[in-house]
Structure 1
């Protein structure tokens, strides 16, 4: 797991539709990466509350994924 910068920490705390909209204007997007692949959304409290297990075929990134800001054209699940 790589070390997070203060900027990525703030982005992770504020990950919202508005932030994603602003990043799209700069042709960027937020993705979560782990050993299983690259995802657009992160496993959150809703998934935890519904007791969804973590496995490689999930549609969302597992909780230990790293946040990255990448060009809009980058492939993800």
Structure 2
């Protein structure tokens, strides 16, 4: 049986996001897949500072603020 990987996305990259990123890194089978923040550069800074080198930062989410979306 293949081990299931849970992919996590962190929205916002303030202080609590750093704590979450550190906690997720310690959980086997959990990967932080992406980090997003509305402030340019903050998501990338969290990725760099917390050693999430394989993750991506998302900036395209800002374009969704002006659109009507349904989930």
Normalised by the size of structure 1, how large is the TM-score? Answer: 0.29
Larger Rg over CA atoms? 2
With a CA cutoff of 8 Å and minimum separation of 6, indicate the structure with the bigger relative contact order: 1
Normalised by the size of structure 2, how large is the TM-score? Answer: 0.31
